[in-house]
């Protein structure tokens, strides 16, 4: 969806670092983004934080914005991404707490847990090193580097689909290689996200 010429001009000026254009776009879209975010989040403070994070990121990454595309769609997509990441983080935190409860019930001793964790981490690293080089690189950029699929694709000059396929194969391989340690490996994978 294309945007009106006036807005395209504001976005082009934003890309060039014009703070006034940024303020105008912020004034126009912050309330829309707040209302959108509030539908998914529990508090107004959380929604306001999403608005602030999105616009901070827009300013920092303004050179990557496509002025010919809908700015409205761009900010909504950025908010969805932030909200999803927030939910994923909460799920990861809960998985970690569940793991600690599981490990405490199983081992009753965090010293044993630490030894198990280190042993699994070594086995996971060996499994990662056994992957084909390109798959290993993609996996490490994602899990250790924290890059998104699109960023990996751009960095390696490959398609997003290739990145998605390689990540899927990497995770499947790790699940198979470390199937004896399902609960612990779940923690390892989640801690890398």
User: What is the model's pLDDT at position 171?
Assistant: 84
Q: What angle do CA 50, 51, 57 make, to 5 degrees?
A: 85
DSSP state of 131: S
Same domain, 115 and 186: yes
Q: What stretches of 39-70 show up as alpha helix (H) in DSSP?
A: 44-60
Q: Which domain holds residue 184?
A: 109-191
Cα separations in angstroms, 100 against 62, 68, 94, 106:
41, 49, 10, 10
Contact 34, 41 (CB under 8 A): no
Q: Residue 69 forms beta bridges with which residues?
A: 2
What CATH number did the domain enclosing 48 receive? 1.10.1740.10
Summarize pLDDT for 131-162 with one digit per residue, the tens.
999 998 998 888 877 888 899 999 999 999 99
Same domain, 182 and 132: yes
Nearest-angstrom CA–CA distance, 173 and 18: 48
Q: Which two structure tokens, joined as six digits, stand for 24?
A: 């105008």
Number of domains comprising the chain:
2
Summarize pLDDT for 121-135 with one digit per residue, the tens.
777 788 889 999 999
- What pTM value is reported for the model? 0.47
Last residue of one domain, picked from the residues 86, 120, 148? 86
User: What is the model's pLDDT at position 190?
Assistant: 47
Mean pLDDT, residues 87-104 taken together = 57
| Residue 95 banded pLDDT, cuts 50, 70, 90 | low
Q: Residue 2 forms beta bridges with which residues?
A: 69
User: What is the model's pLDDT at position 127?
Assistant: 85
Angle 160-177/110-129 helices, nearest 10 degrees?
Answer: 130
Same domain, 78 and 12: yes
Instruction: Establish if 55 belongs to a structural domain.
Output: yes
Say whether pLDDT at 30 is over 60. Answer: yes
Say whether pLDDT at 107 is over 70. Answer: no
Summarize pLDDT for 161-177 with one digit per residue, the tens.
999 999 889 888 877 77
Instruction: Establish if 131 belongs to a structural domain.
Output: yes
User: What is the model's pLDDT at position 143?
Assistant: 81
Same domain, 29 and 68: yes
Q: What angle do CA 134, 78, 167 make, to 5 degrees?
A: 20
Instruction: Establish if 95 belongs to a structural domain.
Output: no
Instruction: Establish if 101 belongs to a structural domain.
Output: no
| Residue 24 banded pLDDT, cuts 50, 70, 90 | very high
67: helix, strand or coil: coil
């Amino acid at each position: 969806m294309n945007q009106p010429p006036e807005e395209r001009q504001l976005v082009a000026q934003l890309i060039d670092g014009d703070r006034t254009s940024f303020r105008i776009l912020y004034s126009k879209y912050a309330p829309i983004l707040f209302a959108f975010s509030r539908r998914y989040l529990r508090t107004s403070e959380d929604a306001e934080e999403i608005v602030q994070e999105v616009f901070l990121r827009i300013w920092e990454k303004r050179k990557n914005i496509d002025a010919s595309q809908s700015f409205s769609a761009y900010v909504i997509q950025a908010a969805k991404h932030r909200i999803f990441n927030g939910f994923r983080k909460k799920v990861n935190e809960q998985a970690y707490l569940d793991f600690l409860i599981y490990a405490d019930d199983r081992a009753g001793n965090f010293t044993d847990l630490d030894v198990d964790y280190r042993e699994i981490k070594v086995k996971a690293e060996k499994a990662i090193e056994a992957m084909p080089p390109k798959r290993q690189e993609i996996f490490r950029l994602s899990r250790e580097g924290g890059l998104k699929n699109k960023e990996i694709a751009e960095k390696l000059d490959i398609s997003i689909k290739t990145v998605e396929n390689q990540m899927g194969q990497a995770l499947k391989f790790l699940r198979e290689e470390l199937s004896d340690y399902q609960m612990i490996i779940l923690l390892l994978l989640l801690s890398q996200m």
